[in-house]
Structure 1
Amino acid sequence: MRMLIGSILFILLNVITTEARKDKCEGKRDIVFLLDMSGSVGKRNFQIMLDTVASIADNFYIGPYNTQVGVDVFSSSVKTAIKLKDYNNRYYLERAIKRIKYEGGMTNTYLGLNHVRYNSFSYRYGHRYHAPRIAIVLTDGKSQHKSKTLNAARNLKNAGVKIFSVGIGSGIDWSEVHGIASTGRKRAVFRGWSAKVQNFKELSKTSFKHQITEVACSVGSSKLNPKKDFYIYRLLYDETQFCF
């Protein structure tokens, strides 16, 4: 009887795990989120932003043969909160994202974009040579230096990085938000790589997170190598059970 129950539980767990994996994006890509934590954002809204980023990360297979995620934060200055190489486990990645501290300050977006270009996508931070690079920028206001911001975005795009730019609230400069973003194909959601939402609460909507995922997932299509990656995923499964 125990063997029968054990077999049934094993089958059910495998079905649940398989179903949970169906909607996740696979393929190799390096994604860096660049988050505005200036004074106008506020601690509560910044936490909503972090929860949204963690939820988006949950839509991807995380690991050295799949998607890697980094997070940078900017205000008066900029810093890396999570490097691309820091987490190969989705559970610990999401937990680390939600624990990033809010500081406040000015909106020096150009510093963030330059930091992403020179540091976040560097090999020492964990970028993989053949992995497509995607930067996702979330901001709620006009930058302190628009011309510097647009120039920094242009240099980042010229370096081969795809940028998705999201403007939040009524205080944004839409021409700046759109100017930061890459030019997407007509069939891409949002008619390109830029979007605006009315407030921070809209970031929590499933439809919004799905659209961001869809755009990012469209970049990079390499598949897993089962023979090489089986041990890695077996190890992660043993350590975290259902945290894939």
Structure 2
Amino acid sequence: MLAKTLLSLGLWLQFAAGQDTPKRGPQPSLSGSEGDLLFLLDSSGSVSNYEFSRVKEFIWDLIRPFTFGPNDVQTSIIHISTTPTMEFPFDRYLSSGTVQQAIRDTQQLMGDTNTGKALSYAKEKLFSNEAGARPDVPKVMVWVTDGFSTDDISEPMQLLKDMGVTVFIVSTGRGNYLELSAAASQPPEKHLHFVDVDDLPIITKELQDAISDAVQANRLRAVDITSSSFRLMWPQVLSQETGYYTLEYSPVDDPSRKRTKQVPGAHTTLVLSDLSPETTYQVALIPESNVHYIPPQTTKVTTLAGKMCTTLSGWEGTTELTHAASPGPQEISPAQVLISKSKPHSFHVSWAPTPDSVTGYQILYGPLPGNSVELLEVDGSRNGTVVGNLVPNTTYLVTVTAVYKSGQEKSLSAKACTQEGE
């Protein structure tokens, strides 16, 4: 243990002093990639100097194989602090050597952990022409966090993902899984990593490969893959004036179920929904240009396992005040209801957030369609429970209600499916 501690301290001091990091052997160059890669770096006072230096070393190692340039990968860093700060724009450093030196020179700012502000800053400022971002290349963000934020991240993160940004999250140990899995691109097992700050090298190669997949140039690709949907993204080769796209997709093993959509030429992304679970789809994007021939792009996408059940996010039950007390701080409904570990006769229900002002949770569940409803009551300190004695291969409506000390109640519902079996 002492030897490991001394070795880690030595590496930290060496990196902090701007010296070369230890050689880890040659790495293959990841050429043929084109994209804007943003690192959201927790620079607040909740991170120790040691942790900050280890994260810098991790980022330094992560970008080593990429080729940087105006027609390759560009990168930038935003500091999470009291006020978001851009360390450097995308188009400032256009070689591996200058990028790596800029990362070495990055200094911690301290201050509050206002991650939500940094995300909003990224949307409004950084992914723009003035910050050197390019309009027609893939956008990737890697957020390295200790899991703590003093402001809300859900809305600004969703706005970034709606812009087509692929979000990877690396938490060094204290993050809320429900919150972070909702914030990362889907599926979370490919975009969310929990790892101790001293073990970051363990995930370097896996994350390099995932980023490389996301920034492959001139390629039709799928992100946010679920059991019933995925989002397609492609480089812009048309405009509203020069043509449109014909999109064709069908299950590989049943081409007769082919569907066709017409997509405006200015679009570079589209969500396909109402798909079958565990099914591989053949997708073809055909540019219909009125200027010159542009070859079609194709890809295959496999949906995740599970039934076609999705969270009904945003639905709130009615609020009732059971006494005439003066109103306190605004109570909020559960922001997320997650169904997992589905079996023929049970599934696990979890929710977030879990405020201290909640005295308990009520879980109402019943089959769809149907009028029968069962009730479970859970202590306010818990954020999940198992619902059992269910019927196999059945869809249930699950409603989680937070009961507050003030008497208010707030609810959120989701659909859940039990698996086939006896």
**TM-score, length basis structure 1:** 0.75
SS of 1:164's partner is strand
The question of 1:180 aligning with 2:177 is answered: no
Q: 1:201 aligns with which of 177, 184, 198?
A: 198
The question of 1:219 aligning with 2:214 is answered: yes
State whether residues 107 and 142 of structure 1, in contact with CA within 8 Å, keep that contact through their aligned partners in structure 2: yes
Q: Read off the aligned partner of 1:74 and give its amino acid letter.
A: I
Q: Read off the aligned partner of 2:179 and give its amino acid letter.
A: E
State whether residues 163 and 182 of structure 1, in contact with CA within 8 Å, keep that contact through their aligned partners in structure 2: yes
Q: Read off the aligned partner of 1:134 and give its amino acid letter.
A: V
**TM-score, length basis structure 2:** 0.44
Q: Read off the aligned partner of 2:47 and give its amino acid letter.
A: V
SS of 1:73's partner is strand
C-alpha distance in structure 2 between counterparts of 1:103 and 1:129, whole Å? 30
Q: Could you say which structure has the higher strand fraction? A: 2
The question of 1:76 aligning with 2:71 is answered: no
- Offset of 1:20 from its aligned partner? 5.7
Instruction: Give the structure with higher Rg (CA).
Output: 2
Aligned residues: 194
- Offset of 1:87 from its aligned partner? 0.6
The question of 1:39 aligning with 2:45 is answered: yes
Partner of 2:12: none
Q: Read off the aligned partner of 1:201 and give its amino acid letter.
A: D
CA 52–25 in structure 1, closer or farther in 2 if over 3 Å, else same: farther
Unpaired runs of at least 5, structure 1:
1-18, 185-189, 224-244
Identical counterparts, % of pairs: 23
- Offset of 1:101 from its aligned partner? 0.9
- Offset of 1:25 from its aligned partner? 4.3
SS of 1:192's partner is helix
State whether residues 25 and 217 of structure 1, in contact with CA within 8 Å, keep that contact through their aligned partners in structure 2: no
C-alpha distance in structure 2 between counterparts of 1:142 and 1:22, whole Å? 35
Higher RCO (CA-CA < 8 Å; seq separation 6+)? 1
Partner of 1:98: 104
CA 64–20 in structure 1, closer or farther in 2 if over 3 Å, else same: farther
Partner of 1:128: 134
The question of 1:154 aligning with 2:152 is answered: no
State whether residues 30 and 67 of structure 1, in contact with CA within 8 Å, keep that contact through their aligned partners in structure 2: yes
Q: Read off the aligned partner of 2:189 and give its amino acid letter.
A: R
Give deviations 1:37-85, integer Å, cap 9, x for gaps. Answer: 1212111211111111111111211111111011111122211002101
CA 142–23 in structure 1, closer or farther in 2 if over 3 Å, else same: same
Partner of 1:187: none
Partner of 2:63: 57
Q: Read off the aligned partner of 1:174 and give its amino acid letter.
A: Y
C-alpha distance in structure 1 between counterparts of 2:61 and 2:51, whole Å? 15
Give deviations 1:81-100, integer Å, cap 9, x for gaps. Answer: 02101111110110111111
State whether residues 107 and 141 of structure 1, in contact with CA within 8 Å, keep that contact through their aligned partners in structure 2: no
C-alpha distance in structure 2 between counterparts of 1:152 and 1:182, whole Å? 14
C-alpha distance in structure 1 between counterparts of 2:77 and 2:184, whole Å? 18
Q: Read off the aligned partner of 2:184 and give its amino acid letter.
A: A
C-alpha distance in structure 2 between counterparts of 1:152 and 1:76, whole Å? 16
C-alpha distance in structure 1 between counterparts of 2:104 and 2:124, whole Å? 25
C-alpha distance in structure 2 between counterparts of 1:81 and 1:182, whole Å? 24
Q: Read off the aligned partner of 1:46 and give its amino acid letter.
A: F
The question of 1:29 aligning with 2:40 is answered: no
Which stretch of structure 1 is more off in the superposition, 23-32 or 156-165? Answer: 23-32
State whether residues 76 and 107 of structure 1, in contact with CA within 8 Å, keep that contact through their aligned partners in structure 2: yes
C-alpha distance in structure 1 between counterparts of 2:71 and 2:213, whole Å? 17
C-alpha distance in structure 2 between counterparts of 1:38 and 1:174, whole Å? 21
Partner of 2:233: none
Q: Spell out structure 1 runs of 4+ moving beyond 4 A.
A: none
Q: Could you say which structure has the higher helix fraction? A: 1
Unpaired runs of at least 5, structure 2:
1-24, 219-422
SS of 2:214's partner is coil
State whether residues 40 and 80 of structure 2, in contact with CA within 8 Å, keep that contact through their aligned partners in structure 1: yes
SS of 2:56's partner is helix
CA 156–211 in structure 1, closer or farther in 2 if over 3 Å, else same: same
C-alpha distance in structure 2 between counterparts of 1:172 and 1:39, whole Å? 16
C-alpha distance in structure 2 between counterparts of 1:94 and 1:125, whole Å? 19
- Offset of 1:192 from its aligned partner? 2.5
SS of 1:31's partner is strand
Q: Read off the aligned partner of 1:200 and give its amino acid letter.
A: V
Give deviations 1:135-190, integer Å, cap 9, x for gaps. Answer: 11010032112xx2111111111111111111112x22222222221114xxxxx7
